[in-house]
Every structure is written in structure tokens, then in C-alpha cells.
Structure 1
């Protein structure tokens, strides 16, 4: 049998779970692959969702792609009819993580002090 005669059956079997792929920055990937990976938390902010590690905060942003990614899964190989792979999902967008500067992460959820407290009232409230 030549190498061109070898065939792998491909079946379309979507599982309706709804997958999202997250592009991890290299530093976060190495942190998660370490012997003691940290607990990550998701929080909301005014502009996006935030993924927080013990020392960094990332904003989540959805990116559409012109090239679809097909998620594959091996089929049950207990019978000859089920050997091969299944296309379980087609993904058209990914989630990108963007590092949030520390000063912005610390201020999220808090009102910014602009130093203009009472200025409007001083200027326009005098005649009332």
C-alpha cells in the first residue's frame, strides 16, 4: 500500500457546545504550565471582561478571523465503522488577551479623581 492509499474518514458531528479559543500571551502560558499554576478569575469592567492572575490583569477582546478553525475529535475506534475523526465545531472568532497597565487595573471600578470637584457649581450655580 502506498502512502497515497491511506485514508482517514472525516465526519461532521457538531456537538453544540459553543467553543471559544483564547490566545494566551507567552508569560501566562508558561505560568499555567508551571508546577503550581495560579487560580485565574474573571471580572467585569465598564469596557470589557478582565482575566486576573495574582500579579497581572488582562482585558478580553473578541477578534473575528477570515480563516475558520475546525475543531477535531477522534471517533470511537472500537469498530471499524467509527474509525477516523469528527469535526465537532467551526470557530470563526478568537478571544485575545491584552495586558492592562497596573495603574489602570488598580483604578478599575473606582471613580477617577479629576480634581474638578465643585468647579461646575462654583461657575454656574452662583446665579441661582
Structure 2
């Protein structure tokens, strides 16, 4: 038996689902509010420079943060029973199909959205581009 036949790992497949995910970073006070017994309704509002998330007591400005380190969204695959699982065989086989379980990589995320709390009556900060990368690519994002 070779070392490759002895190695057992987690099957990994690339299966993008085409949904298009955005990762939203929530401040601790907003998480506590949403997890309370009576969570409020949140609303999104446009403004000339940014989107605004409003709760009954507070307003947050949404800001996109790009990252050079991608975040990979994965989903587990559950093994599906097959007739081969019921039979006993003496030969070792390797499968990469979904019948063996494992992980599916369904999306890669290169940016997150963070919420910046605004004080009552505070103006929404204007978006500012910094550096050559932002001048070239930031306007289209």
C-alpha cells in the first residue's frame, strides 16, 4: 500500500452556488439588540454618500472594506447512502463525490461591509478614495 492510499482526508469540492454573498460586520451593541427578546426592525436608507442602516435609536453608515486575504465560504456535504456502502469489499477506493461527505467551497468574499455608528444629527461622512488602486478600481466597486 502506498502512502497516498493510506492518507485519509476531508474531500473538498468547488461548488459555487451563484448567490453572491456579502459579509456584514455588526457592532456588539447591535448584535445584543438583535438577540434581545424584542428585536427592532432595521431599515436601509440611501444618502448622497453612503447607505444608512437605521434602528429606532441609532443610525449606522455602511462602508465597504476590501481585503487582500479572501474569505472562503464553505458548506458541509453530508454523505449519501449508496449500495456500495452496504456491501463489504476488501479493496480500498478513493471517491471525491458528494457520497463521501466533506466540504464544498461555495463562495469567495473579498470585501466586508462594516457599520460606522453616527451620532444624532451627525452628517454622513463623504467617501474618500485613497491611493492609486482606489483611483483606478475603487470607483467601480
Aligned to 1:118: none
Q: Distance in 2 between matches of 1:42 and 1:28?
A: 15
Q: What secondary structure does 1:31 align onto?
A: helix
Match of 1:72 in 2: 74
Matched positions, count: 103
- Describe the superposition over 1:48-104 as per-residue Cα deviations: whole angstroms up to 9, x where unpaired: 000001100000010001111000111142247420110000000000100011012
TM-score by length of 2: 0.67
Give the 3-state SS of the residue equivalent to 2:122 in structure 1.
helix
Match of 2:104 among 78, 82, 86: 86
* SS of corresponding position for 1:103: coil
Question: Which of 1 and 2 has higher RCO (CA within 8 Å, sep 6+)?
Answer: 2
The runs of 4+ residues in structure 1 deviating greater than 3 Å are none
Deviation at 1:24, TM superposition (A): 0.4
Larger Rg: 1
SS of structure 1 residue aligned to 2:31 = helix
SS at 1:36 equivalent: coil
Q: Specify every segment of 5 or more residues in structure 1 that has no aligned partner in the other structure, as ranges.
A: 109-128
Match of 1:100 among 118, 121, 136: 118
- Aligned residue for 1:104, secondary structure, equals coil
